[in-house]
Structure 1
């Protein structure tokens, strides 16, 4: 699946990679919530965050926006679980009918975390799941 990046997103990726040393696979500028969503290479989340969060804070300071990171994964199921982090996701099932829907079993106490304030977290998860795995929707169970 091909992902198209804006010029601004490419600039943000370059800055992110220079500061953190981690690779960025995708970037979406969420103007509505004044944040930048970055898809980090699988296994590179610790490098992206840095000791005590120093790397991500430095990128936030340089951009003047909040940065939210999602870790990439090889399978759609693992990708959805990562996209909903830090919520505890027990299991993800992908249903392929007319639409492709991911059903994520989330710990009851973490449903609010998975959804996020005003639906921000679930929106970001759905956006990246569509862009990278052609998943039309994510439903929490």
Structure 2
């Protein structure tokens, strides 16, 4: 899977890696209205990226001037989708390969709102990243 990065995303990755010491495998920069940047972090490096008490990621937010969200990368589409929907409690992810590649996600009932996010922001981000990394066409909560 080839992920194409914008110039801004490449610059943010360099800054992120310099500030945190963690490896960013992808970066999505959302439009000016949202002022939000999402980094996909190498597995096992989330703690390093966040830092004690969240201070490391806060420094990145200050440097970028935007909210920063982190998603841990994974080897499988199922694990990646679950990570992209965190902190929602995901019980199971099933990938269906018919005409389209679909991810069906079982989420704790009390966490459905967390998985969807305000104005659908969380689920849309998860769909975008799952498509970029695993060609998943859609994510359905069950």
TM-score (norm 1): 0.98
Q: Aligned pair 1:35/2:30, yes or no?
A: no
Aligned Cα RMSD in Å?
0.6
Q: Which residue of 2 aligns with 1:26?
A: 26
Any idea what the Cα deviations from partners look like across 1:56-110, whole Å, max 9, x if unmatched? 0000001110001110001110000000000000000000000000000000000
Structure 2 Cα separation of the partners of residues 112 and 44 of structure 1:
27
Alignment of 1:75-86 (within 5 A): 75-86=76-87
Q: Which residue of 1 aligns with 2:65?
A: 64
CA contact (8 A) 2:22 2:42 kept: yes
SS at match of 1:105: strand
SS at match of 2:91: strand
Large movers: runs of 4+ above 4 Å = none
Q: Which residue of 2 aligns with 1:3?
A: 3
Q: Which residue of 1 aligns with 2:124?
A: 123
Structure 2 Cα separation of the partners of residues 72 and 2 of structure 1:
15
Unaligned runs of 5+ in 1: none
For this pair of structures, how many residues does the alignment match?
141
Alignment of 1:90-129 (within 5 A): 90-129=91-130
TM-score (norm 2): 0.98
CA-CA distance at 1:34 after TM superposition: 1.5
SS at match of 1:2: coil
